[in-house]
Amino acid sequence: MLSALVVVFPVFALIFTGWLVRRIGVLGPQSTSELNRFVVYLALPALLFDVIAHAGWADIWKPGFIAVFGLSSLLIYALAFVLRYRKPRHLADAAIDGLNAGYANTGFMGFPLLLIVLGQEAMAPTTIACIITVCVVFAVAIVLIEIGLQPEGRVHLVALKVGNSLLRNPLLVAPALGALIPISGVTIPGPIDNFIKLLAATAAPCALVTLGLFLAEKRESESAAADTRAATLFVTLKLLLHPVLAWVLATQVFNLSPFLTQAAVLLSALPTGTGPFMLAELYKREAGITSTTILISTTLSIITVSIYVAIAI
């Protein structure tokens, strides 16, 4: 257990650093949103582009892994959604609740954690998991939210909004552009390649510091007790049931290799990412449950992830 904590220490130390500098006032109230924009629009897309552009087709096309991580995430999402979608709760709020349980923090924590624990070879499956989380699970939530908010008979507007959202998502555009490099056989010029790698190298530390900044923000909640009860359900689904389901699918259904099984389970064991909170803020839905879920799941993941690393890796 101690050795596992040593392995994951840099990841959580960076999160704590972000939390600390925000709480003591070194960074101001705008730092969270601004650093988050840097990560989402520059650093993380550069990392995704770099990984895909230099990966072989065999590195990216892993149907078993795609099925394991995708199915486990969507099943957990569906379970949380069904448990929460009861009148008078709005469809849009239940859609965000599903993300609270099924949206793993693959972007901000996945890349640095798997790089430390499993090595450079884990970057390709982590990229796949990030794309599934951001572009598939997130898209399902957006569709449900838009259905809930649009007047009846306006289905075409839902399709247009979802399509526009995905086409403008840098976390989808970057790997798509990166895939054109090996397909076309084009070689990236040295100076440009170095620029991309320098920018990509900032993704992991900046993402983790951003997460710490986010967790340090003080948020008002009108029903703290109810938020905590709901968050407890989501954290249980996210930190316990999601990795267990991924392990069952990986070992009993799709027979993944030990390495891909470890990657799938470790990625599934990650806490809830910040995406659900951003969506709640964007659509002006209740964000108290989401912020509580992110805080609790991230804190407890120090223990759960360390236990998994100690046992399985």
> Of the ranges 21-35, 105-119, 176-190, 247-261, which is most confident?
247-261
Domains of the chain (ranges plus CATH)? 2-312 (1.20.1530.20)
Confidence of residue 22 (pLDDT cuts 50, 70, 90): very high
Q: Name which of 133, 142, 143, 141 is nearest 69 in CA terms.
A: 133
Least confident span in 83-87, 277-281, 293-297, 298-302: 277-281
Task: Report the distance separating Cα 304 and Cα 124, nearest Å.
Answer: 24
Contact 87, 234 (CB under 8 A): no
pTM, entire model: 0.80
The tens digit of pLDDT for each residue in 151-191 reads 655 666 667 776 777 677 787 788 889 888 888 888 899 99
Residues 6+ apart with CB under 8 A from 205: 14, 112
Task: Report the distance separating Cα 302 and Cα 96, nearest Å.
Answer: 24
pLDDT for residue 98 is more than 70 = yes
Provide mean pLDDT across the span 2-24: 81
Confidence of residue 141 (pLDDT cuts 50, 70, 90): confident
Buried/exposed code over 71-105 (b: 16+ C-beta within 10 A; e: otherwise): bbbbbbbebbbebbbeeeeeebbbbbbbbbbbbbb
Question: What pLDDT does 153 receive?
Answer: 52
pLDDT for residue 3 is more than 60 = no
Q: Three-state DSSP class for 269?
A: coil
pLDDT for residue 2 is more than 60 = no
Confidence of residue 192 (pLDDT cuts 50, 70, 90): very high
Confidence of residue 268 (pLDDT cuts 50, 70, 90): very high
Contact 60, 124 (CB under 8 A): yes
Contact 106, 269 (CB under 8 A): no
